Structure 1
Amino acid sequence: MRSSNPLSFLVPILPILLPSFAQDQGSNSSESSYGQECVQALQSAGFTQLATVLTQVNDTPPAQALFSELSSGRNFTLFAPIDQAFQNVSSNVTGNSTLLAEYLSYHFVQGEFQNASYTNTSSEGGGGGAGGATSSMSSETMTSSSETQSSETSTETASATTAALWGGLFGRQDQGGGSNSSEGPGPGPHPQPYAGIWQNVTIGRTLLNSSNLVHLEGNKSQVLVWTRYEQNGNISILNQPQNVTVVNSTVWRNLFINGVTGVIVPPGNLTAALTAVNATAAQNLVSTIQIPAENGTNVTALEALESARGITLFVPNDEAFTSEVNETLSGLQSNQTAQTNLLQNHYINGTSLYSTEITNSTQGVTAAGEPLTFSRNETGLFVSGTNGSTAQIIRPDVLVQNGVVHIIDRVFVVESSNPSEAGTA
């Protein structure tokens, strides 16, 4: 027998819970009113389970912070799970109201990402992409755009061409099919979200800022990455354990609501990310190399990387570990300093550098104090080390709790360091 939805028992009691919404948040009548009306709007639009869950968790601190932000009048984009999506949510999440509220916060992105040039008047998903970089962008954004966009888009979220060959964290997924009326908002004109066409990516800053789930620099909230693989294909949410696509869209007040086929899971730690992208060789390397910790002891490189607050890590894929590279690494086993320098020349401390921020003029300093330069052209996105070696970023924007990972096709065999520069990086 198929297991039942762990949240299905909540649906019949939604009308009972709605009046209590204002009571639980009575400290601020505007937030309470907004929250209740938002829940009612979601229910009317067909997102019954989402409306129910928001009501269930409304007295938790994360939910109260969420509705405080939403009632501010600023624009937000909501990726709203359709009812069926909640069937796959772990009981570890559904059984913890605070954690469930934090997960829901990850579905709200700051800014409005409507594509003004496309409106779907049917109930089918898809469409709304842009082959170039022209788009209707929100004034609330996250990263600077690529060279193909206007430099005047001073934003907190942006889209950019990443011409590297990639298909999402778990490989390329089916983009076909639309939605029906049971999967999202009812009939009528539905605006579509902006998203770069593959090979483009769009990044938005979400409202998830839990100290248990997010360890970014400057106490920044976590980001969300999405794209579409075909001109008329549905938008895919990247870095997810299953295929999550946008099936329909509508607007309510300051919310641009996009129905999605799954509950979006926040990024995990580096171990989980390396496992997901099958970076076995790199994972083995960082799990065995010992590097000095701030307290004077030695820890594995993996432990050090996972404890950093804000990091950009360039991870070579398995094919990059050639026999020549492995021979070099073997020869460094007795030289901890050289091992540490080589590893530290693969990451930037204190900064999450997403692909949308990288242009031909972008420069960085590794944790070892050595410079990195970047370039992009019609064939892809590239990063170069101090010894003249250049690697292509073949899978950008793999998100982790404390930063971002870019998969590259080459190991930087750079054993030098510049401690004075490293101290300011």
Structure 2
Amino acid sequence: MSESSLTPVQIAPLRPASPSDPLPPTMMRLSSLSVVLLTAVSSVLGQNTTFLTGLAQVLQDSGCAQLATIATTQLNASTLGQTLLGQVSSGQPFVFFAPNNQAFSIAPSNVTSDSGRLTDIVAYHMVPGNFSSVSTTYPNVTLGRTLLNDPSLVQLEGGKSQAIAWAIRADGKTHVLNQNNDSIVVNTTTFGNVTINVIDHVLNIPASFENTIPQDNMSLATVQTSLSAVSIPFLNASTNQASNVSLFQVLNTGLHGFTFFAPNNTAVQHAMTALQGLSSNATAIQALFQNHLINGSTVYSSELVGQTFTSAAGETLSFSFNATGQYVTSGNTTARIVQPDVLLTNGVIHVIDNVLVNTQSDASAASSAASSASSAATQSTSQTAPIGASQTASLTGSSSSGAGSPTGSNNAASIALRVPGAGTLVGMGFALVGVLLGGLMTLA
């Protein structure tokens, strides 16, 4: 997190839960020390001494003594860390995903040894806003904006901070979704205006497209090779130079904000005949790619239900929800979202179970949507409520539909394609469908 990138955000105190096992004597001593240090820090920063001292005690009582110690020693060594501590005592509502002692014991060593990285990690565990009235059971998902907005780790549209997703799974427990390790809330408590969700793993900050895809080999095994097989002309705004780059590069680092509906490997196998029939038609393949992408806008699952958006091809993507899950429709094809909200550094993936075989396009609608997305991205927002809360409330198991404002897209005209042969198409896995952004893309 760069010193200049963290804008003070409203954070509130955490709320821990009581642990079942007593802390070792050494950890008890560390926790007592953290209370003393926290008190000293607060007097320097003008923080609420009583509040921070109480928070440190609650963390200790909840099995998070190491987190309390880290906060009062390592975090306090940097300006940004001090800012986080000040925000925690501001009195504003927060949700704090607090890794317990066991979580830190199994975390990579560089989590705690690198103070800059540690500050970013703690920021990703802090979510401003009141979520007390929100409880979602998967495939419904709760999403919130964290305090993480380090531009080296987050490249969403409009400088937005990174999101976090969680839901109650079939085991009745709350899970933080799409993590390398299954992160479960093992206890919940409150302290002041902070809700403390004690978790059993340190959370992973969402990574790049390139580093995320290998984590889902079951569904997305061939994406890197597949997306690398298709190139488009791409305009680098910083150099004003255009060059051909692979679609993989564009999704990995070229876009600041996108939503990608990624057919899994099974979906592509089922669509094999249709895909082979398009292998010699570059225009149709271009439209097919574009109709799996919302360019310029990161749209999470809680914002999709009952809405319509414009794809990068200028076609309508409509969304519905019923007792069997959430669905996306393009043209005459509908797919179920089987894995929502795979969060990325610069966008989001929703894995779907069917290829959206829509080869239609509307350049005018695409251009209009691109303009709207660009305008929306310039609007400064500080979100302190569940993302898509009004839409999430309607996920009740019955089908819902409706129109929403069109969002991200780009002009689909004048694109250069290097089209792979039919054999390559069949082996592409989900990647076959997700890429063409249309027109000459500009690196934001």
Same fold (TM over 0.5): yes
Change (3 A) 1:71 1:24: closer
Shift of 1:270: 1.4
Match of 1:367 in 2: 312
Higher helix share: 2
CA contact (8 A) 1:358 1:374 kept: yes
**Which deviations, in whole Å up to 9, do the C-alpha atoms of 1:137-193 show, x marking residues without a partner?**
4xxxxxxxxxxxxxxxxxxxxxxxxxxxxxxxxxxxxxxxxxxxxxxxxxxxxxxxx
Match of 2:251 in 1: 305
> Aligned letter for 2:137?
I
Match of 1:173 in 2: none
Shift of 1:297: 0.8
Structure 1 residue 82 and structure 2 residue 100: aligned? yes
Match of 2:60 in 1: 43
CA contact (8 A) 1:25 1:64 kept: no
Structure 1 residue 398 and structure 2 residue 337: aligned? no
Change (3 A) 1:265 1:27: same
Residues 95-114 of structure 1 aligned to structure 2 (within 5 Å): 95-114=113-132
> Helix, strand or coil: the match of 2:356?
coil
Change (3 A) 1:338 1:293: farther
Match of 2:12 in 1: none
Shift of 1:67: 2.4
Residues 274-289 of structure 1 aligned to structure 2 (within 5 Å): 274-278=213-217, 279-289=220-230
Shift of 1:242: 1.5
> Aligned letter for 1:78?
F
Match of 2:81 in 1: 63
Change (3 A) 1:348 1:9: farther
* Structure 2: gaps spanning 5 or more residues: 1-24, 237-241, 371-444
CA contact (8 A) 1:239 1:267 kept: no
- 2-structure distance, mates of 1:32, 1:311: 42
Residues 335-414 of structure 1 aligned to structure 2 (within 5 Å): 335=282, 338-360=284-306, 362-386=307-331, 388-414=332-358
Greater shift in the superposed pair: 100-109 or 19-28? 19-28
Residues 210-289 of structure 1 aligned to structure 2 (within 5 Å): 210-230=150-170, 233-278=172-217, 279-289=220-230
> Aligned letter for 1:321?
V
| Percent identity of equivalent pairs | 37
Match of 2:273 in 1: 324
Change (3 A) 1:9 1:345: farther
Shift of 1:420: 2.9
- 2-structure distance, mates of 1:37, 1:210: 29
Change (3 A) 1:60 1:9: farther
> Helix, strand or coil: the match of 1:293?
strand
- 1-structure distance, mates of 2:224, 2:49: 47
Shift of 1:341: 3.5
Shift of 1:271: 2.3
Greater RCO, 1 or 2 (C-alpha within 8 Å, sep 6+) = 2
Q: How many residues end up aligned between the 2 structures?
A: 334
Change (3 A) 1:199 1:384: closer
Shift of 1:20: 4.7
**Which one of 231, 240, 243 corresponds to residue 290 of structure 1?**
231
* Structure 1: gaps spanning 5 or more residues: 1-7, 115-135, 138-194
Match of 1:314 in 2: 261
TM-score, scaled to structure 2: 0.68
**Which deviations, in whole Å up to 9, do the C-alpha atoms of 1:185-206 show, x marking residues without a partner?**
xxxxxxxxxx322333222222
Shift of 1:84: 0.7
Shift of 1:17: 5.7
**Which one of 351, 358, 361 corresponds to residue 417 of structure 1?**
361
Change (3 A) 1:313 1:18: same
- 2-structure distance, mates of 1:199, 1:17: 40
Greater shift in the superposed pair: 91-100 or 339-348? 339-348
Shift of 1:309: 1.1
**Which deviations, in whole Å up to 9, do the C-alpha atoms of 1:228-275 show, x marking residues without a partner?**
223x72211111111211111211112111211111111111123322
Shift of 1:62: 3.4
CA contact (8 A) 2:333 2:358 kept: no
- 2-structure distance, mates of 1:405, 1:242: 18
> Aligned letter for 2:235?
E
> Aligned letter for 1:87?
S
- 2-structure distance, mates of 1:385, 1:403: 20
> Helix, strand or coil: the match of 1:239?
coil
